Structure 1
Amino acid sequence: MTSSEALLTALRLSDSMLPVGTYTASYGVEQYLNEDDIETADELGELIEGYLRGVIGPAEIVALGHAHRSAAADDLVGVLAADERLGAATLPAEFRDSSMKAGGKLLELLDEIDDGPFAATETTGFLGEYTAACEDGLAEGHYPVVLGVVCQQAGLGCREAALVSAYGSVTGLLGAAQRLGRFGHTAIQAQLSTLFPVIEEVCEQYYDADLTAMCSFAPLADVRGMAHERADRRLFMS
């Protein structure tokens, strides 16, 4: 792809308009707000920075990077390994379900796109093999792994794919907090600006890490995610 095509593809995959259902997940943020653990925009930003450093970087970006490199080498076993390990590292059931549903929706979406960098990639080539593996139950199809394969097949580099994933995760968390009515547009955008350097740092640190380095440590977020499953009031799936 040209640099312009690569940029447009990255924007497309990180856009909240992408119909994969990520807007229905708050990954525990709703429960933090329900229990009044987050009161200010700065506290929200600190929480999301914790997600970046404890989960998004060392777990999701590691899995995405490994899947991207494996796809480049036509190594389906490597992609399946990233998918399996990420599922094992994601403890709350709602988080796993949201990730698998988003990954499945992205694969379904590509099946209906008949032009551009995704044309015919769903049923042919490496992406088709991975899709078949998901359909056969050999992989759960977690969203970061699917995104890593999709970005590689579309011609985006591994670092760029990591930035797409991390940016999408951060804006998804911020957007969830905003839709819950606690924070205004200006406060959310201010926190996004503050988090840009953290996004870049985390992606640079983890996009080429070995799969064996994967870890996830956000115990309070995990507890909030598990409590959300039994919450009396829920707007989001997770």
Structure 2
Amino acid sequence: MTTDPDAFLSALRLADSFLPVGGYTASYGLEQYLNEDKIDDRDDLEAVIAAYLRRVVGPCELVALSNAHAASEANDLEAVRTVDERLHAVTMPREFRESSTKAGAKLSELFLETDIEQGVETTLATAVATDETPGHYPVVFGVIAQSRGLSRRDACLAYAHSFVTGLLGAAQRLGRFGHTAIQSTLESLQSVVTEVCEQYLESDVSAMASFAPFAEIMGMRHERAGRRLFMS
């Protein structure tokens, strides 16, 4: 991680569930896994989240984040929008798209109001607010992380960590797992987080893809579930 204290604190802020972007309401289909008894124990939970990391977060969201970070560094808003449109196209479940764009809009609005920066971050916020670009969360995250001095690797690690803690928090709030099981799972998944960040850090935007059909099916079923604690 970076030794710059401001950048390090920004990484903590971006990765914290305290950040008011709506992540607390999202389980990304995990609730449906539990509703249908597809997850029985901690090993099952770890396997599902590891699959999300390897098949969705890494090859899709981290590729988007990394390329948005690079485009922001080059002060190229059009390249950021290209990344955003690509991510929108490859995200299949409607709930996943809506959760991502709502969180992206909230993050963009939050940082624009609390830490005004000139450059791509400001123009992207305007484009998102006027519906000129979808404003997916990984894209906005990458732009803001770059403007706050985080490297691409640090930004990817912060994002992937926040994704894992978000799903684990959802699993705990659904009442199936206790604190010890959640922390054990978080510890076990650290190597997977590092693996996917290293694997996709330098990937071109054209390589962005997601292949997790069962997770997508769970997300689509969740849209129509009669009993839901989470929005997605």
Report TM bin, short chain.
over 0.9
- The amino acid of 2:28's aligned partner reads Y
Q: Quote the residue 1:185 is aligned against.
A: 179
Q: Quote the residue 1:7 is aligned against.
A: 8
Q: Quote the residue 2:46 is aligned against.
A: 45
Deviation by residue 1:41-90 (Cα, 9 ceiling, x = unmatched): 11000000000000000000000000000000011111001111111111
Equivalences for residues 115-126 of structure 1 within 5 A: 119-121=115-117, 124-126=118-120
- The amino acid of 1:210's aligned partner reads D
Q: Quote the residue 2:65 is aligned against.
A: 64
Structure 2 Cα separation of the partners of residues 134 and 107 of structure 1? 8
Q: 1:147 aligns with which of 141, 159, 174?
A: 141
Structure 1 residues 178, 153: CA separation in 2 closer, same or farther (over 3 Å shift)?
same
Mean Cα deviation higher: 104-113 or 192-201 = 104-113
Q: Quote the residue 1:73 is aligned against.
A: 74
- The amino acid of 2:104's aligned partner reads G
Deviation by residue 1:129-176 (Cα, 9 ceiling, x = unmatched): 111111232210000000000000111101100011100111101110
| Structure 1 segments of 4+ aligned residues over 4 angstroms from their partners | none
SS, match of residue 183 in structure 1: coil
SS, match of residue 166 in structure 1: helix
Structure 1 Cα separation of the partners of residues 10 and 65 of structure 2? 17
Aligned identity (percent) is 57
Q: Quote the residue 1:233 is aligned against.
A: 227
Q: Quote the residue 1:169 is aligned against.
A: 163
Structure 2 Cα separation of the partners of residues 149 and 130 of structure 1? 9
Q: Quote the residue 2:202 is aligned against.
A: 208
Q: Quote the residue 2:55 is aligned against.
A: 54
Q: CA RMSD in A?
A: 1.1
Runs of 5+ consecutive residues of structure 2 not aligned to the other structure: none
SS, match of residue 237 in structure 1: coil
- The amino acid of 1:212's aligned partner reads S
SS, match of residue 112 in structure 1: helix
| Residue 16 of structure 1 pairs with residue 24 of structure 2 | no
Q: Quote the residue 1:116 is aligned against.
A: none
Structure 1 Cα separation of the partners of residues 183 and 135 of structure 2? 31
| Residue 130 of structure 1 pairs with residue 124 of structure 2 | yes
Structure 1 Cα separation of the partners of residues 215 and 158 of structure 2? 22
What TM-score does the superposition give when structure 2 sets the normalisation length? 0.97
Structure 1 Cα separation of the partners of residues 201 and 88 of structure 2? 18
Structure 2 Cα separation of the partners of residues 77 and 217 of structure 1? 27
Deviation by residue 1:215-238 (Cα, 9 ceiling, x = unmatched): 100000000000001001000011
| Residue 223 of structure 1 pairs with residue 217 of structure 2 | yes
Mean Cα deviation higher: 5-14 or 196-205 = 5-14
The alpha carbon displacement at 1:2 in A equals: 5.8
| Residue 93 of structure 1 pairs with residue 94 of structure 2 | yes
SS, match of residue 13 in structure 1: helix
SS, match of residue 91 in structure 1: coil
Structure 1 Cα separation of the partners of residues 113 and 122 of structure 2? 13
